[in-house]
Protein backbone atom coordinates (compact mmCIF):
# COMPACT_ATOMS: atom_id res chain seq x y z
CA UNK A 1 0.00 0.00 0.00
CA UNK A 2 1.31 3.46 -0.92
CA UNK A 3 2.27 5.85 1.87
CA UNK A 4 1.79 9.59 1.69
CA UNK A 5 5.41 10.26 0.75
CA UNK A 6 5.21 8.02 -2.35
CA UNK A 7 1.86 9.55 -3.33
CA UNK A 8 3.19 13.10 -3.00
CA UNK A 9 6.35 12.14 -4.91
CA UNK A 10 4.26 10.67 -7.72
CA UNK A 11 2.00 13.74 -7.86
CA UNK A 12 4.96 16.13 -7.95
CA UNK A 13 6.66 14.03 -10.65
CA UNK A 14 3.54 14.13 -12.82
CA UNK A 15 3.04 17.87 -12.26
CA UNK A 16 6.65 18.85 -12.97
CA UNK A 17 7.12 16.76 -16.09
CA UNK A 18 3.70 17.71 -17.46
CA UNK A 19 4.54 21.37 -16.97
CA UNK A 20 7.88 20.98 -18.74
CA UNK A 21 6.71 18.81 -21.62
CA UNK A 22 3.55 20.87 -22.22
CA UNK A 23 5.65 24.00 -22.62
CA UNK A 24 8.29 22.33 -24.81
CA UNK A 25 8.56 22.01 -27.69
CA UNK A 26 6.43 24.68 -29.34
CA UNK A 27 3.95 22.20 -30.78
CA UNK A 28 0.60 22.48 -32.58
CA UNK A 29 -1.46 23.06 -29.43
CA UNK A 30 0.79 25.83 -28.15
CA UNK A 31 0.79 27.47 -31.58
CA UNK A 32 -3.01 27.18 -31.80
CA UNK A 33 -3.42 28.79 -28.37
CA UNK A 34 -1.00 31.57 -29.31
CA UNK A 35 -2.78 32.38 -32.54
CA UNK A 36 -6.37 31.88 -31.37
CA UNK A 37 -5.76 33.62 -28.05
CA UNK A 38 -4.42 36.67 -29.82
CA UNK A 39 -7.38 36.69 -32.21
CA UNK A 40 -10.32 35.53 -30.08
CA UNK A 41 -9.28 36.18 -26.49
CA UNK A 42 -8.61 34.33 -23.25
CA UNK A 43 -11.83 32.28 -23.02
CA UNK A 44 -11.35 30.64 -26.42
CA UNK A 45 -7.67 29.97 -25.77
CA UNK A 46 -8.19 28.44 -22.32
CA UNK A 47 -10.93 26.13 -23.64
CA UNK A 48 -8.52 24.86 -26.31
CA UNK A 49 -6.00 24.22 -23.54
CA UNK A 50 -8.58 22.39 -21.38
CA UNK A 51 -9.48 20.13 -24.29
CA UNK A 52 -5.82 19.41 -25.02
CA UNK A 53 -5.10 18.72 -21.34
CA UNK A 54 -8.06 16.31 -21.10
CA UNK A 55 -6.76 14.20 -24.00
CA UNK A 56 -3.21 14.35 -22.67
CA UNK A 57 -4.40 12.98 -19.32
CA UNK A 58 -6.17 10.16 -21.16
CA UNK A 59 -2.95 9.27 -23.00
CA UNK A 60 -1.03 9.39 -19.72
CA UNK A 61 -3.58 7.04 -18.13
CA UNK A 62 -3.26 4.63 -21.06
CA UNK A 63 0.53 4.68 -20.66
CA UNK A 64 0.29 3.70 -16.99
CA UNK A 65 -2.60 1.23 -17.11
CA UNK A 66 -1.82 -0.41 -20.44
CA UNK A 67 1.90 -0.95 -19.94
CA UNK A 68 2.38 -1.12 -16.16
CA UNK A 69 2.92 -4.89 -16.01
CA UNK A 70 5.33 -4.65 -18.94
CA UNK A 71 7.33 -1.94 -17.15
CA UNK A 72 7.65 -4.14 -14.08
CA UNK A 73 10.02 -6.55 -15.83
CA UNK A 74 13.56 -5.78 -14.69
CA UNK A 75 15.11 -6.10 -18.15
CA UNK A 76 12.44 -3.85 -19.66
CA UNK A 77 12.97 -1.22 -16.96
CA UNK A 78 16.70 -1.14 -17.66
CA UNK A 79 16.13 -1.02 -21.42
CA UNK A 80 13.64 1.84 -21.08
CA UNK A 81 16.14 3.86 -19.06
CA UNK A 82 18.65 3.59 -21.89
CA UNK A 83 15.96 4.30 -24.49
CA UNK A 84 14.82 7.39 -22.58
CA UNK A 85 18.39 8.68 -22.48
CA UNK A 86 18.77 8.26 -26.27
CA UNK A 87 15.25 9.60 -26.95
CA UNK A 88 15.79 12.81 -24.97
CA UNK A 89 19.19 13.48 -26.55
CA UNK A 90 17.82 12.86 -30.05
CA UNK A 91 14.75 15.03 -29.52
CA UNK A 92 16.74 17.78 -27.81
CA UNK A 93 19.31 17.89 -30.61
CA UNK A 94 16.49 17.98 -33.17
CA UNK A 95 14.95 21.06 -31.61
CA UNK A 96 18.22 22.77 -30.75
CA UNK A 97 19.38 22.62 -34.38
CA UNK A 98 15.99 23.47 -35.89
CA UNK A 99 15.89 26.26 -38.45
CA UNK A 100 12.08 26.55 -38.49
CA UNK A 101 9.39 26.36 -35.81
CA UNK A 102 7.88 23.14 -37.14
CA UNK A 103 10.55 20.43 -37.07
CA UNK A 104 9.63 17.85 -39.72
CA UNK A 105 9.62 14.23 -38.52
CA UNK A 106 8.12 11.03 -39.91
CA UNK A 107 6.01 10.76 -36.78
CA UNK A 108 4.89 14.36 -37.25
CA UNK A 109 3.79 13.69 -40.83
CA UNK A 110 1.84 10.61 -39.70
CA UNK A 111 0.23 12.65 -36.90
CA UNK A 112 -0.81 15.37 -39.35
CA UNK A 113 -2.53 12.78 -41.55
CA UNK A 114 -4.35 11.28 -38.57
CA UNK A 115 -5.31 14.74 -37.31
CA UNK A 116 -6.66 15.67 -40.75
CA UNK A 117 -8.80 12.52 -40.84
CA UNK A 118 -10.11 13.16 -37.33
CA UNK A 119 -10.96 16.76 -38.24
CA UNK A 120 -12.77 15.51 -41.33
CA UNK A 121 -14.78 12.91 -39.41
CA UNK A 122 -15.44 14.74 -36.14
CA UNK A 123 -15.62 18.35 -37.41
CA UNK A 124 -14.70 19.96 -34.05
CA UNK A 125 -16.60 23.23 -33.76
CA UNK A 126 -15.92 24.25 -30.17
CA UNK A 127 -12.60 25.40 -28.76
CA UNK A 128 -12.53 22.51 -26.29
CA UNK A 129 -13.01 19.88 -29.00
CA UNK A 130 -10.40 21.56 -31.19
CA UNK A 131 -7.76 21.07 -28.50
CA UNK A 132 -9.02 17.57 -27.67
CA UNK A 133 -8.96 16.32 -31.28
CA UNK A 134 -5.56 17.83 -32.07
CA UNK A 135 -3.92 16.00 -29.18
CA UNK A 136 -5.85 12.83 -30.01
CA UNK A 137 -4.28 12.82 -33.47
CA UNK A 138 -0.77 13.53 -32.18
CA UNK A 139 1.01 10.18 -31.88
CA UNK A 140 4.01 11.92 -30.33
CA UNK A 141 2.03 12.73 -27.17
CA UNK A 142 1.15 9.07 -26.56
CA UNK A 143 4.73 7.97 -27.29
CA UNK A 144 6.11 10.63 -24.94
CA UNK A 145 3.88 9.51 -22.06
CA UNK A 146 4.73 5.85 -22.64
CA UNK A 147 8.43 6.73 -22.41
CA UNK A 148 7.91 9.00 -19.39
CA UNK A 149 5.74 6.49 -17.54
CA UNK A 150 8.39 3.82 -18.04
CA UNK A 151 11.08 6.20 -16.85
CA UNK A 152 9.09 7.24 -13.75
CA UNK A 153 8.61 3.63 -12.73
CA UNK A 154 12.17 2.62 -13.60
CA UNK A 155 13.47 5.33 -11.24
CA UNK A 156 10.79 4.50 -8.62
CA UNK A 157 9.49 8.06 -8.78
CA UNK A 158 6.07 6.51 -9.26
CA UNK A 159 5.49 3.27 -7.37
CA UNK A 160 3.83 0.36 -9.15
CA UNK A 161 0.68 0.88 -7.10
CA UNK A 162 -2.75 2.20 -7.99
CA UNK A 163 -2.74 5.18 -5.60
CA UNK A 164 0.67 6.39 -6.77
CA UNK A 165 -0.33 6.15 -10.45
CA UNK A 166 -3.56 8.04 -9.81
CA UNK A 167 -1.58 10.73 -7.96
CA UNK A 168 0.82 11.02 -10.88
CA UNK A 169 -2.04 11.33 -13.39
CA UNK A 170 -3.63 13.99 -11.15
CA UNK A 171 -0.31 15.85 -11.14
CA UNK A 172 -0.21 15.64 -14.93
CA UNK A 173 -3.68 17.17 -15.11
CA UNK A 174 -2.59 20.07 -12.87
CA UNK A 175 0.66 20.61 -14.77
CA UNK A 176 -0.82 20.66 -18.27
CA UNK A 177 -3.72 22.91 -17.25
CA UNK A 178 -1.35 25.25 -15.38
CA UNK A 179 0.82 25.73 -18.48
CA UNK A 180 -2.04 26.13 -20.95
CA UNK A 181 -3.74 28.53 -18.55
CA UNK A 182 -0.63 30.70 -18.21
CA UNK A 183 -0.06 30.65 -21.96
CA UNK A 184 -3.68 31.57 -22.68
CA UNK A 185 -3.62 34.43 -20.19
CA UNK A 186 -0.32 35.76 -21.46
CA UNK A 187 -1.21 35.79 -25.14
CA UNK A 188 -4.71 37.21 -24.55
CA UNK A 189 -3.25 40.06 -22.50
CA UNK A 190 -0.70 40.78 -25.18
CA UNK A 191 -3.29 40.73 -27.95
CA UNK A 192 -0.59 39.99 -30.47
CA UNK A 193 1.15 37.11 -32.14
CA UNK A 194 4.61 35.90 -31.25
CA UNK A 195 6.99 36.16 -34.17
CA UNK A 196 8.42 32.97 -35.68
CA UNK A 197 11.86 34.09 -34.53
CA UNK A 198 10.67 34.26 -30.91
CA UNK A 199 9.02 30.85 -31.18
CA UNK A 200 12.21 29.44 -32.67
CA UNK A 201 14.15 30.72 -29.67
CA UNK A 202 11.67 28.97 -27.37
CA UNK A 203 12.25 25.82 -29.38
CA UNK A 204 16.04 26.10 -29.02
CA UNK A 205 15.69 26.54 -25.25
CA UNK A 206 13.44 23.48 -25.26
CA UNK A 207 16.20 21.53 -26.99
CA UNK A 208 18.75 22.58 -24.39
CA UNK A 209 16.44 21.53 -21.55
CA UNK A 210 15.73 18.17 -23.15
CA UNK A 211 19.45 17.51 -23.63
CA UNK A 212 20.11 18.50 -20.00
CA UNK A 213 17.45 16.09 -18.74
CA UNK A 214 18.87 13.38 -21.01
CA UNK A 215 22.39 13.90 -19.66
CA UNK A 216 21.10 13.71 -16.08
CA UNK A 217 19.37 10.46 -16.99
CA UNK A 218 22.61 9.19 -18.55
CA UNK A 219 24.50 10.12 -15.39
CA UNK A 220 22.01 8.12 -13.35
CA UNK A 221 22.57 5.07 -15.58
CA UNK A 222 26.36 5.36 -15.19
CA UNK A 223 25.99 5.69 -11.41
CA UNK A 224 23.85 2.55 -11.29
CA UNK A 225 26.38 0.62 -13.37
CA UNK A 226 29.25 1.77 -11.12
CA UNK A 227 27.31 0.92 -7.97
CA UNK A 228 26.60 -2.60 -9.16
CA UNK A 229 30.09 -2.90 -10.68
CA UNK A 230 28.76 -3.88 -14.09
| Coil/strand/helix, residue 193 | coil
Domain count, the chain: 1
**Cβ-based neighbours of 15, under 8 Å, separated by 6 or more:** 171, 172, 174, 175, 178
What are the pLDDT digits (tens) for 139-156? 778 888 888 888 888 777
Q: Report the percent of the chain where pLDDT is more than 70.
A: 76
* Residue 151 belongs to some domain of the structure: yes
* Residue 27 belongs to some domain of the structure: yes
When pLDDT is averaged across residues 114-126 and rounded to a whole number, the result is 64
DSSP state of 84: H
Measured CA distances, 85 to 143, 151, 223 (Å):
15, 10, 14
Task: Name which of 47-56, 100-109, 212-221 the model is least confident about.
Answer: 100-109
Task: Name which of 108-112, 126-130, 180-184, 204-208 the model is least confident about.
Answer: 108-112
DSSP state of 49: H
CA nearest neighbour of 15 among 205, 148, 213 = 148
* Residue 121 belongs to some domain of the structure: yes
* Residue 37 belongs to some domain of the structure: yes
CA distance 31 to 33: 5
Query: pLDDT at position 107, please?
Result: 47
Q: What is the pTM assigned to this prediction? A: 0.76
Query: pLDDT at position 52, please?
Result: 92
Q: Are 224 and 77 in contact (CB under 8 A)?
A: no
For the chain, how big is the Rg over CA atoms in Å? 18
* Residue 210 belongs to some domain of the structure: no
Query: pLDDT at position 50, please?
Result: 94
CA distance 178 to 59: 18
* Residue 221 belongs to some domain of the structure: no
Q: Which domain holds residue 167?
A: 4-88+103-193
Amino acid sequence: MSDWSSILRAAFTGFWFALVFSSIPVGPINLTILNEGARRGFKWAILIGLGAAAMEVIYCSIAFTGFSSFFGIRTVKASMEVFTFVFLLFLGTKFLTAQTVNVPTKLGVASEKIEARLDEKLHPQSAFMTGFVRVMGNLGVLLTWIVLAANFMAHDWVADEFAAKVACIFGVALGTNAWFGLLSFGVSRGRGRFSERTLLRFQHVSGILLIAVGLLDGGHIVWQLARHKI
